[in-house]
Amino acid sequence: MSTRARTAAVVTGIGLVSSLGRDLEESFDALCTGASGLGRPTPELAEASNVEVVSQAPDINPAEVLRPPIDPGVDRYLVLALAAAEQAVRDAGLAVGQNSDPERTAVVASTAGGPLRTYEEHAAARRRRGRQAVSPYLCPGMIPNMSAARIAIKYGIRGYSLLLSTACAGGGQAVAEALRLIRGGDADVVVCGGSDAPLHPTVAAAFVNANSLAHGHDDPRRASRPFDRDRNGYVLGEGAAFFVVESAEHADARGAAGYADVIGWGATTDAYHVTKPRPDGSGAAECMRRAIASAGLAPADIGYINAHATSTGIGDVAEARAIRGLFGDDTPPVSSTKSVTGHLMGASGAFEAAATVLSVAHGTLPPTHNLDNVAPHCELNHVRSKPARTEVRAALSNSFGFGGHNISLAFGAASTRGRRVPGVADD
């Protein structure tokens, strides 16, 4: 079946919450202009974990996204998810039960860590004060599927629902699952995305002790340096990104305009190491090849790749090898938007998919900022310093996670009658 048929899955709504803010156009402008969201941690977090640079999302009052009474089992990862999903639903003009059949509407969410903060706070309370200090709200509060469940409850979504937890590939896999559901005829509309809130002393300390995080940078905005010679780790970040994805027929029937179509996906597993990718990038290369084939395209049709590139020595090289292995020396334009957002963990794949969707929608490719000197073995057709303006027929968004999970999404022009072209800052 042609992926460009009217059964295509089109993105009609996007919601983002990150250190760049909560506004869709302002967030994409920041990706393009380099208005970094990276900064220093709170003194408490720095003292407890020794983390030096973080990417912190705005504070959100749970009452903004949940109806009272607000129970104490609502973790920050969940509040971020609800805030991003609310933006996406509003952006799409979706009203479940009015312009969308609740039984034909689905929700797929992702998180890498889930309610880490909630569980640790209750565990600490139990150690200090005993069993009675543990709230009964911990029972639903400690299970990560609550982001999918709470979104379904809030909007009355009664179709398929799922929580994915494939580390930092999960956000991308949530979008792939939406495409599978729509192509398979199992849903007309899918609310999908990911969220994570890992800026927690225990989590941050673990990454610091693993020597994974960026350190020693005088300017925190320069700490995330994908593909750069002087990179020395990623920046731990929190945030959420959600989409409304629906069939083109359904979108047209309710008069919704699309940003871009989800036209293909590919997934592989490295089966190599719990944290390291295959050094030759073969798993990632096969993942991209499958996404392109799923879209009914050839490598030459790809006009942009939003790389997973986290700013680590091993990961950036492996991905660069994967891209060259599939495309040869003349690669499509490549950039990593983590240079201004840091690594949003389970939300990263969804956030970067949003950046890719917007790139396709208005033909603007955000650059990799802080890429002053390309590192050995990372030579690609990098978009550097400023955005590139070009029509993009198709683009890929890559996400890779601990455990060897690889996902690549392919996007193309929206197939709805109406198309949305959001604004972007000038060079």
pLDDT, tens digit, for every residue of 83-96? 999 999 999 999 99
292, 264 contact by CB (below 8 A): yes
pLDDT of residue 294: 96
Strand partners, 236: 54, 343
The Cα 174–Cα 242 span in angstroms is 9
Distances in whole angstroms, Cα of residue 409 to Cα of each of 12, 43, 79, 107? 17, 38, 26, 18
The model carries a pTM of 0.95
Q: What is the pLDDT of residue 7?
A: 67
Burial pattern 76-92, b for ≥16 Cβ within 10 A else e, equals bbbbbbbbbbbbbbebb
Say if domain 9-413 classifies as CATH 3.40.47.10: yes
Q: What mean pLDDT, rounded, does the chain reach?
A: 94
- 329-362: pLDDT as tens digits: 999 999 999 999 999 999 999 999 999 999 999 8
User: Any idea where the domains of the chain sit in the sequence?
Assistant: 9-413
Task: For residue 423, name the pLDDT band (cuts at 50, 70, 90).
Answer: low
Burial 120-150 (b: 16+ CB within 10 A, else e): ebbeebeeeeeeeeeeeebeebbebbbbbbb
| Higher pLDDT pick, 411 / 142 | 411
Using pLDDT thresholds of 50, 70 and 90, give the confidence band for residue 139: confident
Please give the average per-residue pLDDT across 191-210, as a whole number.
Answer: 96
Q: What percent of the chain has pLDDT over 90?
A: 89
- State yes or no: pLDDT of 176 exceeds 90: yes
Please state, in angstroms and as integers, the Cα–Cα distance from residue 207 to each residue in 210, 227, 301, following that order: 5, 20, 38
Q: Which pLDDT tens digit goes with each residue over 34-66?
A: 999 999 999 999 999 999 999 999 999 999 999
List CB contacts of 383: < 8 A, sequence separation 6 or more. 333, 334, 335, 365, 366, 367, 368
Q: Name the amino acid, one letter, at 327.
A: F
Which position has the higher pLDDT, 220 or 121? 220
- DSSP bridge partners of 240: 17, 195
| Lowest-pLDDT choice from 120-124, 173-177, 178-182, 281-285 | 120-124
State the pLDDT at residue 427: 45
Q: 354-384, pLDDT tens digit by residue?
A: 999 999 998 999 999 999 999 999 999 999 9
Report, as residue numbers or ranges, the catalytic residues. Answer: 168, 308, 343
First-to-last alpha carbon distance for the chain, in angstroms, is: 40
Between residues 138 and 210, the one the model is more confident about = 210
Indicate whether 1 pLDDT > 70.
Answer: no
Taking a C-beta distance cutoff of 8 angstroms, is the pair 136, 107 a contact? no
